[in-house]
């Protein structure tokens, strides 16, 4: 399977990885910015743009990755259930 098709089929895992990287980068940049700022009033905005936005992005990333796992598991179970239903119909 080529990369483009994989990215399209696994769009949620792709977005999850991107969101996690963005979140990690935001936290790192927020920390660097806050450590360079002298005044508390200069540091606080970095807390919002770095820590809060970083946690937001990490949360979205984790959610999308877990939901991709749940979707895959549900699809497999649904295939099995469809097979069992078809078998039950045939035996009637």
Interface residues toward another protein, by CB under 8 A: 40-41, 44-45, 47-49, 52-53, 55-56, 59-60, 62-63, 66-67, 70-71, 73-74, 77-78, 80-82, 84-85, 87-88
- The single residue listed with the structure tokens 């990287």 is 21
Measured from the CB atom, the residue of 2 and 40 that comes closer to another protein is 40
In eight-state DSSP terms, residue 39 is S
Do 47 and 31 contact (CB within 8 A), yes or no?
A: no
Q: How far is the CB of 89 from another protein (least distance, A)?
A: 12
Measured from the CB atom, the residue of 35 and 41 that comes closer to another protein is 41
Measured from the CB atom, the residue of 3 and 46 that comes closer to another protein is 46
Q: How far apart are CA 84 and CA 92, in angstroms?
A: 13
Quick check: helix, strand or coil at residue 31?
A: helix
Q: How far is the CB of 73 from another protein (least distance, A)?
A: 5
In eight-state DSSP terms, residue 69 is H
């Amino acid at each position: 399977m080529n990369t483009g098709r994989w990215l399209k089929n696994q769009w949620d895992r792709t977005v999850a990885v991107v969101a996690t990287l963005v979140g990690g980068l935001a936290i790192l940049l927020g920390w660097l910015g806050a450590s360079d700022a002298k005044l508390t009033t200069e540091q606080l905005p970095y807390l919002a743009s770095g820590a809060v936005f970083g946690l937001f992005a990490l949360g979205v990333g984790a959610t999308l990755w877990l939901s991709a796992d749940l979707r895959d598991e549900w699809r497999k179970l649904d295939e099995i259930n469809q097979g069992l239903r078809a078998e039950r119909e045939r035996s009637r």
